[in-house]
Amino acid sequence: MINDNITTGHWIFAAIFMVLFVIYLAWSYRKDASVHKNFYSGTAYILLGIVTLIFLVFVFFRIF
């Protein structure tokens, strides 16, 4: 089996690393939240436009 070489210590390290990494990501996001509001305020419209474009291309190729 593939997991034969993965010991309990490896799983403990992976779990601790994952928890600490998620905590660091959350802390970093909260620290930069005000910067994101200032510089990335219109990104929802860009995302909506990209999703709409992909949908229209999909519909176009399904019809023709």
Q: Higher model confidence: residue 3 or residue 55?
A: 55
| pLDDT of the residue at 32 | 87
∠ CA 60-64-51, nearest 5°, is 15
The one-letter amino acid at 47: L
Residue 1 has pLDDT above 80, yes or no: no
Considering the entire predicted model, what is its pTM?
Answer: 0.53
The one-letter amino acid at 38: N
Mean of all residue pLDDT scores within the chain: 90
Q: In which band, very low, low, confident or very high, does the pLDDT at 34 lie, cut at 50, 70 and 90?
A: confident
| pLDDT of the residue at 3 | 67
